[in-house]
Amino acid sequence: MLQTRDTDLHATESYPGTQAVARALALLKAFSDGQPEWSLTDLAQATGLNKTTAFRLLAALEAERLVMRNPVSGGYRLGVDLIALGATALRSNPLRAMSRPVLETLAEQSQESATLEILVEQHVLIIDEVSSNHPMGMSQDVGSRLPLHATATGKVLLAYRPTAEVEAYLRLPLSGLTERTVVDGEQLRQQLSQIRHEGYAATDGELEPGFVAIAAPIYDREREVVAAISVGGPALRLNGPRLPELTAMVQMSARLISRQLGYWPG
């Protein structure tokens, strides 16, 4: 699950048209917060397609408003119809719908932003958030993908993966987002062991300077960790005296959602 999966074109060759679909999806998945716009040449190179194929597929996607052209630069961006599709996917997600009341209560009681996140390959994906009412609130956007090793939710989700997947991730070149981001494999391995022992994770300034987050795992009826819930905000508020109380809130919220998913500790 943690390894990036390249499109297996050979597996789709026996089904007419599926190779084109796989290639079109590869083009869409190349867009990210860090790379919201691509030139045709760069996008073709990034996805391993020749320019002619990439242009033909992009033209079809543009006709369906799944991508759009920047009238100034001529580059490609994701289209407006993907916004509607994404919103529909979020609304239909049963985990999100079930967790929403708990997330709202957690944000209200903690007076900090609360998020629900899941594992997607080498990142955590924010599928819901209730923002803090504080004027100095700090939050992440729904749909954002964040690195596992720099986030409390990411460390929680990574801690409960099979050993082989954890070791594969720790062998990757991990980028330091701030001077506090832990990129040493052995140090991360020790942190993951501590998370499994204590049942929560906390990060301080690893994702961005001054941002503190606390996260706990959500289990399903098979006793598998399927998501993580967290609170986060500025270190000015999330400091020593508040951390035990906030940790207890996050863990209780995670247990409530887990129970709704059919989990029962044994």
CA distance 18 to 11: 9
Yes or no: say if 5 and 18 are a contact pair by the CB < 8 Å rule: no
Report strand pairing: 123-130 vs 211-219. Answer: unpaired
Domain shared by 56 and 97, yes or no: no
What mean pLDDT, rounded, does the chain reach?
A: 87
**pLDDT of 169 higher than 70:** yes
Last residue of a domain, one of 62, 85, 108: 85
Through-space distance between the first and last CA atoms of the chain, rounded to whole angstroms = 26
DSSP assignment letter at 9: S
The pTM of the full predicted model, rounded to 2 decimals, is 0.73
Q: Is the residue at 233 inside a domain? A: yes
**pLDDT of 191 higher than 60:** yes
Q: Is the residue at 34 inside a domain? A: yes
CA distance 33 to 31: 7
Token digits of residue 124: 């955590």
Domain shared by 81 and 117, yes or no: no
- pLDDT tens track for 123-142: 999 999 998 876 554 556 78
Last residue of a domain, one of 85, 119, 142: 85
| Averaged pLDDT, 206-223 | 95
Closest CA to 43 of 23, 20, 15, 65: 23
Yes or no: say if 116 and 226 are a contact pair by the CB < 8 Å rule: no
In 23-105, the DSSP E strands lie at 67-69, 76-78
38: amino acid identity, one letter: W
Q: Is the residue at 162 inside a domain? A: yes
**Residue 68's domain is classified under what CATH number?**
1.10.10.10
If one counts the domains in the chain, the total is 2
pLDDT on residue 15: 56
- pLDDT tens track for 226-242: 999 999 999 988 888 88
| Averaged pLDDT, 158-166 | 95
| Averaged pLDDT, 202-213 | 94
Domain shared by 166 and 77, yes or no: no
Q: Is the residue at 189 inside a domain? A: yes
**pLDDT of 215 higher than 50:** yes
Q: Which residue has the higher pLDDT, 34 or 160?
A: 160
Q: How confident is the model at residue 266 (pLDDT cuts 50, 70, 90)?
A: low
Q: Is the residue at 1 inside a domain? A: no
Token digits of residue 25: 């999806």
**pLDDT of 3 higher than 70:** no
pLDDT on residue 143: 80
Interhelix angle for 51-63 vs 18-29, to 10°?
80
Domain shared by 127 and 250, yes or no: yes
- pLDDT tens track for 58-117: 999 999 999 999 998 999 998 888 877 877 776 666 788 889 999 999 999 999 999 999
pLDDT on residue 47: 92
CA distance 36 to 17: 27
Domain shared by 39 and 114, yes or no: no
Domain shared by 162 and 70, yes or no: no
Q: How confident is the model at residue 4 (pLDDT cuts 50, 70, 90)?
A: very low
Yes or no: say if 118 and 89 are a contact pair by the CB < 8 Å rule: no
Report strand pairing: 201-204 vs 145-147. Answer: unpaired
Domain shared by 173 and 252, yes or no: yes
Domain shared by 98 and 179, yes or no: yes
Domain shared by 69 and 193, yes or no: no
pLDDT on residue 17: 67
**Residue 165's domain is classified under what CATH number?**
3.30.450.40
Domain shared by 147 and 79, yes or no: no
pLDDT on residue 12: 43
Yes or no: say if 229 and 250 are a contact pair by the CB < 8 Å rule: yes
135: amino acid identity, one letter: P
Last residue of a domain, one of 54, 85, 116: 85
pLDDT on residue 1: 41
Token digits of residue 79: 């289209």
Domain region containing 151: 93-260
Domain shared by 69 and 189, yes or no: no
Domain shared by 229 and 121, yes or no: yes
Q: Is the residue at 156 inside a domain? A: yes
Closest CA to 214 of 69, 100, 110: 110
